Amino acid sequence: MSTGRTFDRASALHDLSRETFDLLVIGAGVGGACAAWDAALRGLRVALLERSDFGSGASAHSLKILHGGIRYLQHLDIVRLRESCQERTAFLRIAPHLTRPLPFAVPTYGFGLRGKLPLRIAFQLLNVFTADRNRGVEQTSQHIQAPFLLSRTEFLQRFPLFDGPGLTGAGVFFDGHILNPPRLVYSIVRSAHAAGAVAANYCSAERLLVRGGSVEGVVVRDEVSGHEFDVRSRVVLNAAGPFAPAVHARSVGVAHPEVPLSRDMALVVKRQLIGDMAVAVQTRYHDPDAWLSRGNRHVFMVPWRQSFTLIGVNSRVYDRSPFDLDVTEEEIDGFLNEVNEACPALALARDDVKVVNAGLLPFGENQPGLKDLSFGKRSIIIDHAERNGPNGLFTVMSVRWTMGRAAGEHAVDAINRKLGLGLSPSSTATTRVWGGNFGARDALLDAIRRDLGGAVDDITIQRIADTYGNEWRSVFGRGDRESLLADSSHTVAEIRHAAREDMVVTLADIVLRRLDIGTAEPPTEELLAACARIAGEELGWSSARRQSEIARVNASYPFATPASQRFSR
């Protein structure tokens, strides 16, 4: 329930410097945002800090899939299968405007392990182990359907480019699709704020405040002003992902936890390679953890926004500083060659790639240079007092996007047990996120059409529903509500609203995270100039500042490095 407080940095900075909190969360990726929301709903006074913008790290740069755990059947890991299915269900339930079910086709070949019979058996087991996959999901459009098989003819009607020797058809299973991951993280942050949390972006945790072996808070740097101030808290939860060890090292001199990292990369290709169904393409690399394998690893191709295709994931062991994360042209070309080798008819070229998404996640134990990689199994939760560290310091690191909500819940559970707080159980698996509190999507679309349909097309109406959900009226209550930007289905009202109400600091915050103007391909110069002008009118930007903001957005392509996401004048 809303507290009635404004959502702006000035108010947040005022509260951060003057209050003492029960819990301070460092890092507003999906795990940290969910932890802050969870703790606030349970009645704790919570602060949430993010060194860049909310959801701007690995949480923004993914394949945009809520994995239900089907591949864990090969690992005979039913616990992980069940956990993943439950978390996919949770996001489909609580964020109906920003998530969708999506079918995935897995081609079958011959009559061995890659044939239809093993896949049919796997699907039957999947149905048994995930029989409750739609429990509590009120909207039937959000339901995960049962898997099924396609004949060779049926598969090739949908995927003519994927014909090959021995092809017998395909099996189709369903997973979840995140329409806009950073917008979903932002919606969770707004949910935490509505529950009473104080959240601020561009506030970096410089070092922990430790006295007598216990953590008492964090020294925070406001990245916009450069000013440092203390934030006091009984407990600190380090949810900074790959940056978590650096926060620990700056405070106590030792980097902890030392977690092996994977650099996961996915490409946005401006070609409609497939229709309304994703497809798996088998590569040359083997899964060493599989007990019963259908062959080598798969790369997935996912339809996205009518004209685009997502391709991923390419993983490698990452042993450098997370602050230096980058993606080289050699790595992009290597991944394209891998995909073209698996399906030569695609004939993908470097010019097809418009955006490179990449982030760092916990990995399994692998040696640098290995091709057949073992992936991380569980999210990481550490009570540092149990490892000779400060009392009152915890670390959480989600193993993947889908498990971010559960990681946040389990971290708050661990803090509750340690401090004996007697908190109520978590409710984030059943509480709608900000914007998700509506009934049937068709009714939501009809309401928007009645109000805006005379001036904007149906594609724009659907995007408005998918972005704002039931909060759409708060965006279009002022002037310029129906004025479309050049080369875009976005309206002037959305830019103004983002600048006024969405705690943005940079133009990139607006076009890459609050909206989806630049997440598929670089915006045109005309469109960027219009966005900078409108945002600048609201935020008081000079002409020089507008040009620097445009340059900041352009520097995000093909890949936004951690350095480019930080604020600098």
pLDDT at 454: 73
Which domains, from first to last, does the chain contain? 9-58+182-259+378-419 (3.50.50.60), 101-177+260-362 (3.30.9.10), 475-565 (1.10.8)
For the record, the structure tokens of 559 come out as 């890949």
Q: What angle do CA 292, 297, 303 make, to 5 degrees?
A: 125
pLDDT at 292: 43
Tell me the per-residue pLDDT of 263-278, one tens digit each, with 9 for 90 and over.
999 999 999 999 999 9
Q: State the DSSP H helix or E strand holding residue 124, giving kind and residue range, or none if neither.
A: helix 116-129
CA distance 411 to 228: 28
Q: Describe the crossing of helices 78-94 and 116-129 by its angle, rounded to 10 degrees.
A: 70
Strand pairing category for 214-222 and 228-238: antiparallel
Tell me which residues of the chain have a pLDDT lower than 70: 1-4, 253, 255, 284-296, 364-377, 478-482, 569
pLDDT at 482: 66
Give the residue carrying structure tokens 């004048």.
569
pLDDT at 287: 46
Model pTM score: 0.94
CA distance 318 to 300: 22
For the record, the structure tokens of 470 come out as 């039931």
Mean pLDDT of the chain: 91
Q: What are phi and psi of 217, to 5 degrees?
A: 150, -155
For the record, the structure tokens of 500 come out as 């006024």
Tell me the per-residue pLDDT of 157-201, one tens digit each, with 9 for 90 and over.
999 999 989 999 999 999 999 999 999 999 999 999 999 999 999
